[in-house]
Amino acid sequence: GIADEHLDPTEKGVFSVDARPAPLARLVSGRSPTTGRLLARPERLKVTADLDAQGLRGELELELPGESEAREAAESLGSVARALVASGGMAAKLAAGLVVEAVGSRAVVHVRIPPETLALALRCAGGGACE
């Protein structure tokens, strides 16, 4: 809308996004109703990622209306992370470095992917061996 405040992503890392997630929620809800519901409530979505000698470090932050909503979102995201770890394979390796927490009115996902796992994931995405 005309009165919308412009969002500027934090200049942090090699990748940075700052967005209103409601349009994304509508876009994905047909394929993934759970993801659509999760993205429909936050007022803001922030994502940053950086690469260094320890691999990839990233953070996804959902800004919600209140602390109870943030706790609920963090619990949902934690459940997804645990399910990914239990699934085995590449998804489990990528999800092993996830830490989910509620911080005030924000649900935050921290990720660390070691260089070896990141290299394997890139090979796998390129059609190479995944194990």
Summarize pLDDT for 64-122 with one digit per residue, the tens.
Answer: 999 999 999 999 999 989 999 999 888 899 999 899 999 999 999 999 999 999 999 88
Per-residue exposure over 102-127, b if at least 16 CB sit within 10 Å of its own CB, e if not: beebbbbbebebeeebeebbeebeee
pLDDT at 1 over 60: no
Of 56, 39, 28, the closest CA to residue 121 belongs to 56
How high is the pLDDT of residue 127? Answer: 80
Q: Sheet containing 44-52: which strands, arranged edge to edge?
A: 15-19, 44-52, 55-63, 106-113, 98-103
Q: Give the torsion through C-alpha atoms of 49, 53, 55, 59, to 10 deg.
A: -30
Report phi then psi at 8, rounded to 5: -120, 120
How high is the pLDDT of residue 51? Answer: 93
How high is the pLDDT of residue 95? Answer: 92
